[in-house]
């Protein structure tokens, strides 16, 4: 009873401060541009912390430690793929996205893509916004699912009730303040996440050495005892199967190349190029430290309970926190996991509602005099409700898998569009539309056919199929002279 009271007290105190910050920032929202892109005046430090908190989500503090617990050393390829992708995004795409957004006066990711390809602007808006809405229902649902797992682990309540509580926490400040509120609450979450991912592993490794009744007293010992597959960089696979293991992990790289709208929006909103450079350095350092922490936490779980000791591997983060720390401290660190999923869920909600209102509702259904800001806020609330409903029909209860599917369906096709738009002057508007639609359709086919992971992961296949479509259609339907003049 005492422990539960502490957990509840920490949760309530944290979210009181958190929601207060969100509402305070929301008071600054005076226009649709403020709601959608924070007035295009984001400091580099805020962009970096927000981008990293949003990018990691329940994936980094729930999914990734669970994956490390389940497979051992070979999960390193996932981290390498993500790290390289994040490095490339900050060094080669962040400034380009920021400058392009300013040049075209773009207030959303799809708005930017459409204005860069005016020859097919309207179809691109409808197709892209529909694609984002479809996949983001599941992406937001994955965050709600993560919240349900945290509540179940800490309080023993059903995951369904936990998901509902998660939704009720997110909706008020997100609906009210939009991107402006989301970015600055993300900063708080990003700081808490990195504190948890630094302190918890260090303390855990130190305390583990003197514990009794555990599976092993050290991480290396635990991995060795768990079996050869846990200490192998390929999970024990050899030959071509080993290549597939490496590619499967590294394939997360492809989604970071400008194709994840919720991350690209942070780049687009940065104040100026000097702030881009500061944000780049902070963001990359944050990522390296955070990923090291997630790995160690997963391996600490093996040392404590063995490779089969947890029914749900993705409960390893909160369970490790509860094992090593006083309930009040454990609750604070578990809030970090909650902060991770919330920082992504709120960003996805704002982005999806903005794309819907800007590219589907406003052009085709709104009447003269419609309050655009009200429509955006209402769309945010409705999408949150639908996303909550999607959690009950998700194809998998593993956050790692769900986010992987979304990464393939959205991240890879849009990454191809962004890369070819910036680095290949023959990329045409018709090719951009074909890449978006073709990549989505192929991803759905690959996943539903059961081929995902059997031959190649959907993330790698979706990227290269989308790239092939973009190049082939550009030669079949090249840019017109009028289109070249419009983009210049």
**Model confidence over 86-100: pLDDT tens digits?**
999 999 999 999 999
- Kindly write down the DSSP assignment for every residue of 66-77, as one continuous string: HHHHHHGGGGHH
Q: What is the pLDDT of residue 396?
A: 52
**Model confidence over 171-193: pLDDT tens digits?**
776 666 566 667 777 787 788 88
DSSP helix/strand/coil, 448: helix
Whole-structure pTM value: 0.82
Q: What is the pLDDT of residue 471?
A: 96
Q: What is the pLDDT of residue 170?
A: 76
Q: What is the pLDDT of residue 12?
A: 79
Tokens of 246: 């490496």
Q: What is the pLDDT of residue 17?
A: 77
Which portions of the chain are predicted below pLDDT 50?
Answer: none
**Model confidence over 314-348: pLDDT tens digits?**
889 888 988 888 888 888 777 766 766 776 777 77
What's the topology of domain 2-32+40-487? Sodium/glucose cotransporter (1.20.1730)
Closest CA to 178 of 358, 321, 322, 329: 358
b/e 105-132 (16+ beta carbons within 10 angstroms → b): ebbbbbbbbbbbbbbbbebbbbbbbbbb
Q: Is 409 left (phi over 0), alpha (psi -120 to 50) or beta?
A: alpha
**Model confidence over 10-67: pLDDT tens digits?**
777 877 777 777 677 666 666 555 555 656 677 888 888 888 877 776 667 777 898 8
Tokens of 19: 């929601």
User: pLDDT over 70 for what percent of the chain?
Assistant: 84
Is residue 89 within 8 Å of residue 270, measured between CB atoms? no
């Amino acid at each position: 009873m005492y422990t539960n009271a502490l957990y509840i007290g920490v949760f309530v105190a944290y979210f009181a401060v958190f929601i207060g910050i969100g509402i305070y920032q929301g008071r600054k929202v005076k226009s649709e541009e403020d709601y959608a892109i924070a007035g295009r005046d984001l400091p580099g430090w805020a962009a970096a912390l927000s981008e990293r908190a949003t990018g990691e989500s329940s994936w980094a503090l729930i999914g990734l430690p669970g994956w490390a617990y389940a497979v051992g050393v070979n999960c390193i390829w996932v981290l390498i793929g993500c790290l390289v992708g994040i490095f490339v995004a900050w060094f080669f795409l962040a400034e380009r996205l920021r400058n392009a957004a300013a040049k075209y006066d773009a207030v959303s990711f799809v708005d930017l893509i459409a204005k860069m390809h005016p020859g097919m602007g309207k179809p691109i808006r409808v197709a892209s916004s529909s694609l984002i809405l479809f996949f983001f229902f599941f992406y937001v649902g994955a965050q709600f699912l993560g919240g349900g797992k945290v509540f179940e682990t800490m309080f023993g309540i059903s995951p369904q009730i936990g998901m509902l509580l998660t939704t009720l926490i997110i909706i008020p400040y997100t609906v009210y303040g939009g991107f402006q509120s989301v970015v600055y609450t993300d900063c708080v979450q990003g700081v808490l996440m990195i504190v948890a991912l630094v302190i918890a592993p260090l303390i855990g490794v130190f305390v583990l050495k003197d514990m009794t009744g555990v599976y092993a007293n050290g991480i290396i010992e635990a991995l060795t005892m768990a079996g050869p597959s846990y200490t192998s960089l390929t999970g024990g696979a050899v030959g071509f199967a080993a290549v597939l293991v490496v590619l499967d992990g590294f394939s997360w790289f492809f989604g970071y190349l400008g194709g994840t709208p919720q991350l690209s929006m942070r780049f687009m909103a940065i104040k100026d190029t000097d702030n881009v450079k500061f944000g780049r350095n902070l963001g990359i350092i944050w990522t390296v430290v955070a990923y090291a922490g997630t790995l160690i936490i997963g391996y600490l779980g093996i040392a404590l309970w063995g490779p089969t000791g947890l029914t749900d591997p993705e409960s390893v983060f909160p369970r490790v926190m509860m094992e090593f720390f006083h309930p009040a401290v454990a609750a604070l660190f578990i809030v970090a996991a909650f902060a991770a999923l919330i920082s992504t869920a709120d960003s996805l909600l704002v982005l999806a509602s903005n794309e819907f209102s800007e590219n589907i509702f406003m052009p085709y259904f709104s009447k003269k005099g419609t309050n655009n800001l009200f429509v955006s806020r209402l769309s945010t609330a409705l999408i949150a409700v639908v996303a909550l409903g999607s959690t009950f029909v998700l194809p998998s209860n593993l956050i790692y898998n769900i986010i992987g599917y979304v990464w393939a369906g959205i991240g890879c096709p849009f990454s191809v569009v962004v890369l070819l738009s910036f680095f290949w002057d023959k990329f045409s508007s018709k090719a951009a539309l074909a890449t978006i639609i073709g990549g989505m359709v192929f991803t759905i086919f690959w996943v539903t056919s059961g081929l995902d992971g059997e031959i190649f992961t959907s993330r790698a296949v979706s990227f290269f199929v989308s790239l092939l479509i973009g190049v082939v259609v550009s030669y079949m339907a090249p840019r017109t002279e009028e289109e070249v003049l419009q983009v210049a």
